[in-house]
Structure 1
Amino acid sequence: MQSFRSELENLDNPVVQKDIIALADKIQIFREGKIDPDKFRSLRLARGVYGQRQPGNQMVRIKIPFGKMSVKQLKRIADISNEFGGGNLHATTRQDIQVHYVSLDRTPELWAKLEQDDITLREACGNTLRNVTASPVAGIDKDEPFDVSPYAHALFKYFLRNPVCQEMGRKFKISFSSSEKDTGISFIHDIGFIPKLKTEGGKEVRGFKVMIGGGLGAQPVPAQKAFDFLPEDQMIPFTEALLRVFDRYGERKRRMKARFKFLITEIGIDEVMRLVEEERKALSTQSYVVKNLLGQPKLPEKLVFSDKSINDQEKYEAWRATNVWEQKQEGFFAVSIKLPNGDMNWKKAHAFGDVVLKYAADDIRVTVNQGYILRFVKEESLKSLYAELEALNMADPGFNSTADIIACAGTDTCNLGISNSTRVALELENVIEKEYPELIKNNDLHIKISGCPNSCGQHAIASI
């Protein structure tokens, strides 16, 4: 515990310090049998600590807002996974990273070390506003009206530890897409924002098409349109009002009916929007102007080339065709990393981070299909980047293709899993690559696997 306290001294945020100390104190009280197990479960879940299938082990879910992280943060998570868990970094369909096989007693120290690089566990699980996701191509998408990254970041910051979303009847999920192509999958979220522009008084005005009430699970429901155009300064007030409606009127006794989609089904979208307007009158924030606090991406200082050679030209060409595409910024390319089951061990994560800093911007995005996207790669660097990724076994072609299968944790680690989704996914990918290689270039057919009806593998929106 002395070591844990010393880690806290390195944090300059007293709110975070207090939060971590509270978790440590509650763990101690739980160990002494002085707190109700259900109450303790709710507390630890809201701090990203999830009971694992293996007794005595925890899964720690690390919140990566809209999937954006620096190489320094990636390496911090890798070190945490090695020191406190099983050494694996598992990317999820909600752009989080999960670490498994963590001792409950060590979670406060783990959290304190993560916060040194501005990484949080807060509200990664539980009946809270979960990780705010966004299109992983936001900011570089040729089709986008504007970059939604600052808006996703602002919404994450505004609602982190916000009293309105701490103990809701059930979890709540929000996404941002980069364009009408809906790469953020707004239709499966409680709120989905799609950027739009319109002209008013001769000026171009930013806003969002807003979808609400979507969700997967055992009873999938598509989102409904709430607004054709919501002005950008109303994004956060609308979200707060909607969260208040869900908190006030949502189901709390029947867990299976406690999602926002069921409230809309019960009372109708018109009544929901009426209640939202009533709630908005009571908000202290009637307008919220989002400022871009993310800064410009840090690019490599000079062009460098690898001393590694390309041994398989055909594989390189396939990788170039399926994993590389032009950004809206002239002269730059984005590179996608296909990761089977979204898994990467901690040593590889360190080496991967070094490669990123040599050839791409210090801005890694976790993708909704459990991979990564690198940004601002020069065309002259593509062969060198490929050669170094190939040396790490991270240059498989077929990103987001039929051969890029999404799978939840299943019976590997999840308490709710009833089938081994991860092993099935690996076997299917192997069969496709060996027997049906033409599917590596197919983007029309997608396979997704869930280990239970809860749909963490998003099977309800898959081709298969």
Structure 2
Amino acid sequence: MTTSTASSRTLRAPRGGRPNGQWAVDGRAPLNGNEEMKQAGDGLEVRERIEQVYAKEGFASIPDDDLHGRMRWWGLYTQRRPGIDGGRTATLEPHELSDEYFMLRVRLDGGALSLAQLRVLADISTEFARGTADISDRQNIQYHWIRIEDVPEIWRRLESVGLQTTDACGDTPRVVLGSPLAGIAADEVIDPTPVIDEIVSRFVGDPELQNLPRKFKSAVTGHPSLDVVHEINDISLVGVVHPEHGPGYDLWVGGGLSTAPRLAERLGTFVSEERAAEVWHAVVRIFRDYGYRRLRTKARLKFLLSEWGAAEFRRVLEEDYLGYALPDGPPPPRATSPGDHVGVHAQKDGHRYVGAAPVVGRVSGDVLTGLADLMAAAGSDRMRLTPHQKLVVLDVPQDRVDTLVAGLEDLDLSVTPSLFRRHTMACTGIEYCKLAIVETKVTAAEAVAELERRLADVAPQLDTPISLHVNGCPNSCARIQVADIGLKGQIITVDGEQQPGFQVHLGGGLASADRDEAGLGRTVRGLKVTAADLPDFVERLVRRFMESRTPGDTFSSWVHRADEEELR
């Protein structure tokens, strides 16, 4: 790492005089148990122990540092033991919450899948995961009920078709989000595929990037729909056209949600395709060297950016890590179309791509097998997952579109979903997640069905999307602060009784065709809703919006203008 030319401002003592665990400032002495674990052994080294010891000797043979630490570097988390209610989530130790099964995350950079890869994913779900498979909002596939004994065979099958779980979790560079329309859209500014491929081939599994302060989230898009939620990633490269240098990328850094949400900032730089992977590498190394490690709650890049500011971050990037100045560049224009890519649309080669919506990202081995069969019949060899828990089938000949669409609908993968189904997301929730407090997937799915029925009379007049994001805990895996209606799971008290429920965030959103810029939602003092009352609350809110909106209002603009009583 390079630190010798860093400014006195960068290297100044932390506030309060306590070290933050910044390697470039404080040295590498670990300041907490997690840092000690990482320093004692590289997370990637655990694979050999999984294959040679744990898979043969069983779950009980796995020591705690591997079980609740290093195995994450290979996409493995223990899942929640059944029967533990949400009120006990914060009171139990990890070994008390953990079942003897795993969630396994398969990283799909850019969300890209071939037909052969899809069939392997389907077979793994059916044979090893009790039929489970969820599409996450990070373009991954997540399984549950995975036994440690089966992990080596699952890896063998994944790797036989070019898939991996390397760095799928842990304090590493996680999956790189990419535009689902990379290389096929007629209105694409630049194809991000070469940049994503270079980042993955050069840096996934790189020993120098296996001990970051915490996870590092990346996104690259060249599509004008701004389809990779660029404002909430640690780094995003967004396609733009420079007046002198032509197509390239606008650089954003420091976004993230969870309990301390912060939107990313533009550094004002233009990054050429040739330099994009190098710039990405420099940003992740800044995070490695200067990121805060003393407290896990402060260990994301957004806290460093907040401390330095965008100008200082750019100076350190250019002077201390790249060794050259980046040209100033333009911001991306406003999004031109919805970024979930649902529906039937033309590709630049005359074929069609078909975007479909499962209910809150939940699919299964049978659904994936059925999807593969439909793709084969339609002559398509590739598909992509989206950061909105959707899927897109590519390269469909025009004369086979109708048959494909009918087959997708039969699989409950809707190409023409209702407004509520299209814009509802949910995290894993208490069914499997050890951090969750409430159930999410079923709650959200039931709410969608109820809202479709109850609001059938006003749905035709709803000309603006209303997103509903349901999260099982404060960590915001379902992006609650940037939803029109964001729900944070918690136990609430109603008439003296504790019930699963949600704190409500209203009026958030990311830059889109319907919104000029990103913004975080507002909270209303004391506004909470039980899981059982969720459809009642959303119906009431939507009807009030329809009654009191003014011409041109989005749901978000109305929320930020409304008084608190209107929002209850």
TM-score (norm 2): 0.67
1:81 maps to 125
1:319 maps to none
Distance 1:254 1:399, change over 3 A: farther
Shift of 1:450: 0.9
Give the counterpart of 1:138 among 182, 185, 201: 182
1:410-425 aligned within 5 A = 410-425=429-444
Separation of aligned partners in 1, 2:252 and 2:200: 18
1:183 maps to 227
1:217-236 aligned within 5 A = 217-236=258-277
In the alignment, is the contact (CA less than 8 A) between 1:68 and 1:363 conserved in 2?
A: yes
1:94 aligns with 2:138: yes
Distance 1:32 1:455, change over 3 A: closer
Distance 1:207 1:22, change over 3 A: farther
Distance 1:396 1:239, change over 3 A: closer
Shift of 1:265: 1.1
2:77 maps to 50
Give the counterpart of 2:408 among 378, 386, 389: 389
Distance 1:198 1:458, change over 3 A: same
Shift of 1:261: 0.2
Give the counterpart of 1:153 among 191, 197, 202: 197
User: Mind listing any 5+ residue stretches in structure 1 that lack a counterpart?
Assistant: 1-16, 287-321
Which letter maps to 1:377?
V
Which letter maps to 2:366?
K
Shift of 1:139: 2.5
1:450 maps to 471
Separation of aligned partners in 1, 2:193 and 2:239: 11
1:37 maps to 64
Distance 1:425 1:263, change over 3 A: same
Separation of aligned partners in 2, 1:332 and 1:415: 44
Shift of 1:85: 1.4
Separation of aligned partners in 1, 2:481 and 2:276: 28
1:298-337 aligned within 5 A = 323-329=342-348, 331-337=350-356
Bigger mean CA offset, 146-155 vs 35-44: 35-44
Separation of aligned partners in 2, 1:134 and 1:171: 18
Q: Deviations over 1:39-95 (max 9, x none)?
A: 553320000011100211100001111100011111101111222212121110000
Give the counterpart of 1:193 among 233, 237, 246: 237
In the alignment, is the contact (CA less than 8 A) between 2:386 and 2:392 conserved in 1?
A: yes
Give the counterpart of 2:450 among 425, 428, 431: 431
Distance 1:77 1:35, change over 3 A: closer
Which letter maps to 2:438?
S
Separation of aligned partners in 2, 1:446 and 1:401: 7
Which letter maps to 1:130?
R
1:269 maps to 310
Distance 1:139 1:380, change over 3 A: same
1:116 aligns with 2:143: no
The RMSD of aligned alpha carbons is 2.7
Bigger mean CA offset, 386-395 vs 353-362: 386-395
Shift of 1:402: 5.7
1:240 maps to 281
Q: Deviations over 1:94-116 (max 9, x none)?
A: 00001101112322222122111
Q: Deviations over 1:296-318 (max 9, x none)?
A: xxxxxxxxxxxxxxxxxxxxxxx
Separation of aligned partners in 2, 1:125 and 1:354: 31
In the alignment, is the contact (CA less than 8 A) between 1:410 and 1:420 conserved in 2?
A: yes
Give the counterpart of 1:59 among 92, 100, 103: 103
1:172 maps to 216
Distance 1:355 1:32, change over 3 A: closer
Separation of aligned partners in 2, 1:188 and 1:399: 26
Distance 1:220 1:381, change over 3 A: same
2:552 maps to none
Which letter maps to 2:204?
L
Separation of aligned partners in 1, 2:269 and 2:380: 34
2:113 maps to 69
Identity %: 28
Give the counterpart of 1:380 among 384, 392, 399: 399
Separation of aligned partners in 2, 1:333 and 1:117: 25
Distance 1:27 1:268, change over 3 A: farther
Give the counterpart of 2:301 among 244, 260, 266: 260
Separation of aligned partners in 1, 2:401 and 2:60: 57
Aligned residues: 408
Separation of aligned partners in 2, 1:154 and 1:113: 24
Separation of aligned partners in 2, 1:403 and 1:89: 19
Bigger mean CA offset, 31-40 vs 208-217: 31-40
In the alignment, is the contact (CA less than 8 A) between 1:404 and 1:429 conserved in 2?
A: no
In the alignment, is the contact (CA less than 8 A) between 2:112 and 2:385 conserved in 1?
A: yes
Which letter maps to 1:50?
Y
1:367 aligns with 2:367: no
2:565 maps to none
Shift of 1:199: 4.9
Q: Deviations over 1:156-187 (max 9, x none)?
A: 22211112321111000001123344211111
In the alignment, is the contact (CA less than 8 A) between 1:60 and 1:99 conserved in 2?
A: yes
Separation of aligned partners in 2, 1:346 and 1:29: 26
1:459 aligns with 2:480: yes
Shift of 1:20: 4.3
Q: Deviations over 1:342-388 (max 9, x none)?
A: 12221221121011122253111011121211122233222211222
Bigger radius of gyration, 1 or 2?
A: 2
In the alignment, is the contact (CA less than 8 A) between 1:401 and 1:442 conserved in 2?
A: no
Which letter maps to 2:413?
M
In the alignment, is the contact (CA less than 8 A) between 1:416 and 1:452 conserved in 2?
A: yes
Distance 1:31 1:85, change over 3 A: closer
Separation of aligned partners in 2, 1:396 and 1:262: 40
Distance 1:271 1:27, change over 3 A: farther
Q: Partner of 1:382: helix, strand, or coil? A: helix
User: Mind listing any 5+ residue stretches in structure 2 that lack a counterpart?
Assistant: 1-43, 82-98, 327-340, 486-568
Separation of aligned partners in 1, 2:55 and 2:154: 16
Q: Partner of 1:76: helix, strand, or coil? A: helix
In the alignment, is the contact (CA less than 8 A) between 1:62 and 1:121 conserved in 2?
A: yes
TM-score (norm 1): 0.81
1:212 maps to 253
1:297 maps to none
Distance 1:30 1:124, change over 3 A: farther
Separation of aligned partners in 1, 2:346 and 2:167: 33
